[in-house]
Amino acid sequence: MKALTSKPEEHFILTEPFFQPLGAEIPLFEAACANRLPVLLKGPTGCGKTRFVEHMAWRLRRPLITVSCHDDMTAADLVGRFLIIGGETVWVDGPLARAVRAGALCYLDEVVEARKDTTVVIHPLADNRRELPMEKRGELLTAPPEFVLILSYNPGYQSILKDLKPSTRQRFVALEFDYPPPELEQRILEHETGVEAELARRLVRFAGMTRNLKGSGLDEGAGTRLLVHAGKLMVAGLEPVIACRSAVTLALTDDPEMIAAIEELAGSVF
Amino acid sequence: MRATAALTADQLEEHLEHLLDAALNPRMTVTAAAAALAGCCRSDQDQVLHWVGIMARTNPQSAWHFARQAAGALPLLGRDGLGRWALKALDHFDRQGLRAALAVLENAPGEALLLADDPRAARLEDVRGILDTFLCALSGRRLELASASRPCSDTRTLYLPPRLDLLPTRADNELLYRALAAFLWAQTRCGTLSPELAPWLESHPEPDVLARRYFTLEAQRLQALLQRLLPGLLRRLTPFFPMSSPPHWAMELTRPDADARLSRTLAWGRSHWEPPPLPFWQGDWDWRAAATVMQRELAREQRLLRQIVAELFTARGETPVRLDGAPRLTAQRTEHPEGWSVTLTLDGRPMIPPEG
């Protein structure tokens, strides 16, 4: 029986990802890592949580394994499974097992989307045991000091059924993220897209208006990620209103009246 | 082959009873409606039954009223108008309930007048949904919209005309609705209509003359503000309403840091200035109505504060604050090298301000 594991060097981030801290998130994260504490990132979609993790992986020079959780994801998807390859039974590590073996940062994005059985493997890794039970292999992996477990979730639109349980959240050091203040968000857009300052300022104003609609027809306003998309389309030569429609409006809603209203906002701001 | 002969009253009654079963009782029958509809052609009858069926799925009572009025409304509204009338009633039912839907159904002649507009006209009812969202996005909260012949704001409600046909196309008139709404929102949000306005105007021998000067100057300030905030909206409006400039002595109003106090100072000092009429998109004003609403809101918030303060006392097991007047709430500002802080005391005891 063989076991396939990935090469950790494939997961290093070699160039610095742009990240503008809003507060003490970098020293907090560094202190959590030094103390082998897992980290929970809370905040709306598109506000920079994933970028922050990438930046910290680069900063700490550790491999990063990111898992985008979805509602079909089970504990086995995280830990690994046996496969028949060429008539031979092969064990293939899941991303969480790979991260533990490599002493990597393991980022479970939108963790509440995953099935509830994933807590069976998350909990022992997230408390002082720092162990990953691999039942199918009869193996108990102990995480090296470099391993850090990071979860993210968005408290804004998770349903009660998909909320993070206290028994899970109370194992983590929590960092709260939000949309950056307008001046900073404008600088991020200029840096990430090359869009000129006035257009970036208007994009940020437009985003602020959509964020006002949270709970009044929208689950979420436009995150910084969507603004980066819109800015890139503008730099590619598209009219701002057209860029906003494709990159922002249609990504936010399918409701025809809401689409019309947001388009009017874009037409008024640009 | 489809039958084209008109349905008889009995046949209609049978159809209507089937559609409106849930609403019928000895006082609400379909006999009169069926008798009236029996005089219509088959196409009109089919159209009425079609809309009765749709309405009944939302609210059978509204559908019964619709059926009762339909035969009389058809000559006024036409077949297409009948559908728009039914949809409007349904929309009112969804937003405001049965009473609002019945008000629409009882007013077929008024609806006919609105429908008789030329195709250039935009109607408030048609753009209300988008305007609601537009205003919510601007202000972060819902503002009420109401129909009135004179566009103005009382700080709680924005009053807009039921229809606009000043501009060449319907799209242009819809744009005019948004411009009016944005301007009236700015009046409310950016300090034009503030609680100190009415006492200040009433301190002048001719409050309305002063108000005209003040609102005209404020229109210049708000226009400059909207040009910064919503440049696309004003750019599209400019071909129809060229943007004006303030008098040379009031150019400061276009600065980003200008506020309503500057307009008040200028309006008071320029007693010989004859202000020009405002362009239509800058609406009108009713400062007395705004003052009444603000006073009412202020009183409501004071009552709420007293109630919260009394609950705070009760929670601490102490005698509730006097309810015969304002609580003894004081704020003490203290300067520090790194800034300043405020200490709130209630009846001499430090307190944490209540949330909200």
Q: State phi, psi for B339 to the nearest 5 degrees.
A: 150, -140
User: Which three-class secondary structure state does DSSP give residue B246?
Assistant: coil
B332 Cβ neighbours under 8 A, 6+ residues apart: B342, B343, B345
Of A209, A257, A268, the CB nearest to B233: A268
Is B137 in Cβ contact with A265 (below 8 Å)? yes
What is the mean pLDDT of the segment spanning B42-70? Answer: 91
Contact yes or no for B329/B346 (Cβ under 8 A):
yes
A–B interface: beta-carbon pairs under 8 A? 53
Residues paired with residue A65 on neighbouring β-strands, in sequence order? A106
Is A212 in Cβ contact with B140 (below 8 Å)? yes
Going by pLDDT thresholds of 50, 70 and 90, the confidence category of residue A221 is: very high
Contact yes or no for A132/A124 (Cβ under 8 A):
yes
- The encoded tokens of residue A82 equal 């046996």
- Percent of chain A whose pLDDT exceeds 70: 94
- Give the C-alpha separation, B140 to B134, whole Å: 10
As separate numbers, helices (DSSP H) first and strands (DSSP E) second, chain A gives 12, 10
Res B338 pLDDT > 60:
no
Contact yes or no for B223/B258 (Cβ under 8 A):
no
How far is B231 from chain A, CA to nearest CA, in Å? 6
pLDDT digits (tens, 9 = 90+) for A76-113: 999 998 888 877 888 999 999 999 999 999 999 998 88
Contact yes or no for B66/B89 (Cβ under 8 A):
yes
What is the mean pLDDT of the segment spanning B47-66? Answer: 91
Say whether residue A265 is in contact with chain B using an 8 A CB cutoff: yes
Within chain A, residue ranges assigned H as helices are 25-34, 49-60, 75-79, 95-102, 119-126, 166-169, 182-193, 197-211, 224-235, 240-244, 250-252, 256-269
Q: How far is CA A141 from CA A7, A69, A96, A201, in A?
A: 17, 22, 11, 50
How confident is the model at residue A162, as a pLDDT? 66
- Backbone φ/ψ region at A139: left (φ over 0), alpha (ψ -120 to 50), beta: beta
How confident is the model at residue A185, as a pLDDT? 95
Is A257 in Cβ contact with B133 (below 8 Å)? yes
What is the mean pLDDT of the segment spanning A41-59? Answer: 94
Q: How far apart are the first and last CA of chain A?
A: 62
Is A270 in Cβ contact with B129 (below 8 Å)? no
Q: Which of A178-182, A264-268, B87-91 has the lowest mean pLDDT?
A: B87-91
Nearest to A155 by CA among A122, A182, A178, A125: A178
What is the mean pLDDT of the segment spanning A150-159? Answer: 77
- The encoded tokens of residue B273 equal 């200035």
Nearest to B178 by CA among B186, A231, A214: B186
Average pLDDT, chain B: 87
Q: Which has the higher per-residue pLDDT, B142 or B173?
A: B173
Neighbours of A253 (CB within 10 A): 19
Closest chain B residue by Cα to residue A209 = B137
Res B1 pLDDT > 50:
no
How far is B172 from chain A, CA to nearest CA, in Å? 13
Contact yes or no for A96/A132 (Cβ under 8 A):
yes
Rounded to the nearest 10 degrees, the angle between the axes of helix B42-58 and helix B9-19 is 20
- The encoded tokens of residue A158 equal 């998770």
Q: Which of B49-58, B95-104, B184-193 has the lowest mean pLDDT?
A: B95-104
What residues of B are in contact with residue A256 (Cβ under 8 Å)? none
Contact yes or no for B173/B167 (Cβ under 8 A):
yes
Say whether residue A214 is in contact with chain B using an 8 A CB cutoff: no
What is the mean pLDDT of the segment spanning B7-19? Answer: 93
Chain center to CA of A177: 11
What residues of A are in contact with residue B138 (Cβ under 8 Å)? 209, 212
How confident is the model at residue A56, as a pLDDT? 97
Q: Which residue has the tokens 């909320």?
A: A163
How confident is the model at residue B302, as a pLDDT? 82
- Percent of chain B whose pLDDT exceeds 70: 89
Contact yes or no for B350/B334 (Cβ under 8 A):
no
Q: How far is CA A5 from CA A14, A55, A69, in A?
A: 21, 25, 21
Say whether residue A261 is in contact with chain B using an 8 A CB cutoff: yes
How far is A235 from chain B, CA to nearest CA, in Å? 19
Neighbours of B304 (CB within 10 A): 12
Q: Which residues of B touch A (CB under 8 A)?
A: 129-130, 132-134, 136-140, 142, 178, 182, 229-233, 236
Res B274 pLDDT > 60:
yes
How confident is the model at residue B165, as a pLDDT? 86
What residues of A are in contact with residue B178 (Cβ under 8 Å)? 264, 268
Q: How far apart are the first and last CA of chain B?
A: 67
Chain center to CA of A78: 16
Q: Which residue has the tokens 């309930």?
A: B97
Q: Which has the higher per-residue pLDDT, B345 or B182?
A: B182
Q: Which residue has the tokens 């349905």?
A: B7
B201 Cβ neighbours under 8 A, 6+ residues apart: B207, B210, B211, B214, B287
Interface test with A, best of B94, B130, B139, B176 (most A CBs within 10 A): B130
- Give the C-alpha separation, B183 to B185, whole Å: 5
Interface test with B, best of A201, A216, A264, A269 (most B CBs within 10 A): A264
> Does ipTM exceed 0.90?
no
Going by pLDDT thresholds of 50, 70 and 90, the confidence category of residue A122 is: very high
What is the mean pLDDT of the segment spanning B45-63? Answer: 91
Long-range CB contacts (within 8 A, 24+) of A121-126: A121/A75, A121/A78, A121/A79, A121/A96, A122/A149, A122/A151, A122/A168, A123/A167, A123/A168, A123/A171, A125/A38, A125/A96, A125/A100, A125/A149, A126/A38, A126/A168, A126/A171, A126/A172
Is pTM beyond 0.80? Reply is no
Going by pLDDT thresholds of 50, 70 and 90, the confidence category of residue A203 is: very high
- Give the C-alpha separation, A258 to B134, whole Å: 9
Contact yes or no for A139/A98 (Cβ under 8 A):
no
What is the mean pLDDT of the segment spanning B244-255? Answer: 94
- Give the C-alpha separation, B115 to B31, whole Å: 29
Q: Which of A17-31, A144-158, B273-287 has the lowest mean pLDDT?
A: A144-158
Going by pLDDT thresholds of 50, 70 and 90, the confidence category of residue A2 is: low
Q: State phi, psi for B334 to the nearest 5 degrees.
A: -120, 125
Res A160 pLDDT > 70:
no
Angle ∠(B154,B157,B158) on CA atoms, nearest 5: 90
Res B84 pLDDT > 70:
yes
How confident is the model at residue B356, as a pLDDT? 47
Contact yes or no for B115/B84 (Cβ under 8 A):
yes
Q: Which of A59-63, B134-138, B295-299 has the lowest mean pLDDT?
A: B295-299
Average pLDDT, chain A: 91
Res B289 pLDDT > 90:
yes
How far is A255 from chain B, CA to nearest CA, in Å? 11
How confident is the model at residue A33, as a pLDDT? 95
User: Which three-class secondary structure state does DSSP give residue B82?
Assistant: helix
How confident is the model at residue B340, as a pLDDT? 67
How far is B68 from chain A, CA to nearest CA, in Å? 32
Q: Which residue has the tokens 């108990």?
A: A140
pLDDT digits (tens, 9 = 90+) for B143-180: 899 988 889 999 999 999 988 988 999 999 999 999 99
How confident is the model at residue B141, as a pLDDT? 82
Of A213, A260, A270, the CB nearest to B137: A213
How far is B178 from chain A, CA to nearest CA, in Å? 9
Say whether residue A120 is in contact with chain B using an 8 A CB cutoff: no
pLDDT digits (tens, 9 = 90+) for B303-337: 888 788 777 777 777 665 555 555 566 777 776 65
Neighbours of A31 (CB within 10 A): 12
When computed from its CA atoms, the radius of gyration of chain A, rounded to whole angstroms, is 21
Nearest to A107 by CA among A17, A20, A185, A214: A17
How far is B295 from chain A, CA to nearest CA, in Å? 27
- The encoded tokens of residue A6 equal 């990935």
Interface test with A, best of B130, B133, B172 (most A CBs within 10 A): B133
Rounded to the nearest 10 degrees, the angle between the axes of helix A256-269 and helix A197-211 is 150
Angle ∠(A119,A125,A131) on CA atoms, nearest 5: 120
B43 Cβ neighbours under 8 A, 6+ residues apart: B79
